[in-house]
Amino acid sequence: MNDDLRRRPIGVFDSGLGGLTVLRALHERLPDEDLVYFGDTARVPYGTKGERTVLAFARQDAGLLVAQGVKLVVVACNTASAFALDHLSEVLPVPVLGVIEPGVATALARTRGGPVGVIGTSGTIRSGRYQEGLGRVLDAGSIHARECPLFVPLVEEGLMGHALTDLAMEEYLAPLRAAGIDTLILGCTHYPLLKADLGRTMGPEVDLVDSAEALAEAAAARLAADSLRRRDSDDRAVSDRSGEMKFLLSDIPWKFAEIGERFLGRKIDDVRVVELDELEATGRDLDPGS
CA-to-CA distance for 85 and 77, rounded, in angstroms? 10
Among 52, 29, 50, 80, smallest CA distance to 220 is for 29
> Does residue 188 carry a catalytic annotation?
yes
CA-to-CA distance for 230 and 237, rounded, in angstroms? 7
Query: Going by DSSP bridges, is the β-strand pair 96-98/72-75 parallel, antiparallel, or unpaired?
Result: parallel
CA-to-CA distance for 39 and 251, rounded, in angstroms? 8
225's CB contacts (< 8 A; 6+ apart) are: none
Sheet containing strand 245-249, edge to edge, reads 96-98, 72-75, 10-14, 35-39, 245-249, 271-273
CB 179 within 8 A of CB 69: no
CB 72 within 8 A of CB 219: yes
**Which is catalytic among the residues 17, 54, 65, 77?**
77
Dmax (CA) of the chain: 56
Among 65, 37, 47, smallest CA distance to 256 is for 37
Query: Which stretch of DSSP H or E encloses residue 223?
Result: helix 211-225
> Does residue 148 carry a catalytic annotation?
no
CA-to-CA distance for 72 and 12, rounded, in angstroms? 8
**Which is catalytic among the residues 20, 96, 188, 219?**
188
Residues noted as catalytic: 77, 188
